[in-house]
Amino acid sequence: MSRGFRVMDHGREGGPERLVTVAGGKMSDFRLMGEEAGDAACRWIGISGSSKTSAVGLDGQPVVDSVSGAPPSPRLKAFLDFHPRLRELHALSHLGWDYGRHLFSRRQESTCDEVRAHYKKKD
């Protein structure tokens, strides 16, 4: 399977040690890119074990209510592989739906005025 990104551990390739670079990739690859770059960095500082990025949300809390859909059918996958722009839209629709669900589930925690006030403080 061809990936659209590359994680380079420069020390392993004859370059400066303890330098990791991620090149290429697209939004749907970000979590995998981060996982591989993190694993490469962890090798340098002596941390071993499996990555936990799929089990931890952006807020650092465990992902417990994640709705994991089935992968696309072989026919849809072949169609999306042939039409890369539609593949991106397909991925973005899933991300947008999950983000909307996340926002909706947190709606009781703050009002719009509180959110505006929070961001005005940062200006």
pLDDT, tens digit only, all 123 positions of the chain: 457 788 888 888 888 888 888 888 777 777 788 888 888 888 878 888 777 776 777 677 777 655 556 667 888 888 888 888 888 888 788 778 877 777 776 656 566 677 677 777 665
Task: Please calculate the CA angle 65-70-76 and round it to the nearest 5 degrees.
Answer: 145
- 1 with 59, same domain: the answer is yes
Q: How far apart are the C-alpha atoms of 52 and 62, rounded to whole Å? A: 10
Cβ proximity of 42 and 56 under 8 Å? no
Of the residues 63, 98, 114, which one is the last residue of a structural domain?
63
pLDDT of residue 123: 55
Provide the domain count of the chain.
2
Could you tell me which residues come within 8 angstroms of residue 32 by beta carbon, excluding any fewer than 6 positions away? 3, 5
- 59 with 3, same domain: the answer is yes
| Token representation of residue 68 | 């994991």
pLDDT of residue 117: 75
- 47 with 93, same domain: the answer is no
β-pairing, 5-9 vs 20-24, is antiparallel
Q: Which domain holds residue 87?
A: 65-123
- 86 with 104, same domain: the answer is yes
- 6 with 49, same domain: the answer is yes
Q: How far apart are the C-alpha atoms of 81 and 73, rounded to whole Å? A: 12
Q: How far apart are the C-alpha atoms of 52 and 30, rounded to whole Å? A: 14
Residue 20 pairs with which residues in a beta bridge?
Answer: 9
- 8 with 59, same domain: the answer is yes
- 52 with 85, same domain: the answer is no
Of the residues 34, 63, 92, which one is the last residue of a structural domain?
63
